[in-house]
Chains A and B, each alone.
Chain A
Amino acid sequence: MSIRAEHEIHQRRKGRNVGVGLMLAGFVVLVLALTFVKITSGDFELPRVEDAG
Chain B
Amino acid sequence: MTDVSYQNTQQTTEATLGDYFALMKPRVMQLVVFTALVGLLAAPVAVHPVIAIASILFVAIGAGASGALNMWWDADIDQVMLRTAKRPIPAGKVTPDEAKMLGFALSGMSVMMLALSANLLAAFLLAFTIFFYIVIYSAWLKRSTPQNIVIGGAAGAFPPVIGWVIATGSMSIEAWLMFALIFMWTPPHFWALALFMKADYHDAGVPMLTVTHGRTSTRKHILIYTVPLVILAVGTGFTAIGGPVYLAIALVLNALFLKGAFDIWRRDEAQSDADGYAVEKKFFKLSLWYLFLHFGAILAEALLPVTWGVWA
- B179 to chain A minimum Cβ distance, whole angstroms, is 27
Chain A residues whose C-beta falls within 8 Å of the C-beta of B116 in the assembled complex? 34
**A residues 3-33 with Cβ under 8 Å of B?**
9, 12-13, 15-16, 19-20, 30, 33
A34 to B116 Cα, complex, angstroms: 9
Please classify the interface of chain B as helix (H, G, I), strand (E, B), loop, or mixed, using the class held by over half of its residues: helix
Contact B57 A30 (CB under 8 A): yes
A30 to B51 Cα, complex, angstroms: 10
Contact B17 A19 (CB under 8 A): yes
Chain B residues whose C-beta falls within 8 Å of the C-beta of A38 in the assembled complex? 51
Given contacts A13-B14, A30-B57, A37-B48, 14 further A-B contacts (CB under 8 A): A12-B13, A12-B15, A15-B16, A16-B15, A19-B17, A20-B17, A33-B50, A33-B54, A34-B50, A34-B51, A34-B117, A36-B50, A38-B51, A41-B48
- B299 to chain A minimum Cβ distance, whole angstroms, is 23
Contact A34 B54 (CB under 8 A): yes
| Interface size class of chain A, counting residues whose CB lies under 8 Å from the partner chain | 10 to 19
- A9 to chain B minimum Cβ distance, whole angstroms, is 5
- B51 to chain A minimum Cβ distance, whole angstroms, is 6
| Interface size class of chain B, counting residues whose CB lies under 8 Å from the partner chain | 10 to 19
A26 to B54 Cα, complex, angstroms: 11
Chain A residues whose C-beta falls within 8 Å of the C-beta of B50 in the assembled complex? 33-34, 36-37
Per-position binary interface string of chain B over residues 38-72, scored 1 when its CB falls under 8 Å from any chain A CB and 0 otherwise: 00000000001011001001000000000000000
Contact A37 B14 (CB under 8 A): no
Interchain Cβ contacts under 8 Å between A and B, 21 examples: A9-B14, A12-B15, A12-B16, A13-B14, A16-B15, A16-B16, A16-B17, A19-B17, A20-B17, A30-B54, A30-B57, A33-B50, A33-B54, A34-B50, A34-B54, A34-B116, A34-B117, A36-B50, A37-B48, A37-B50, A41-B48
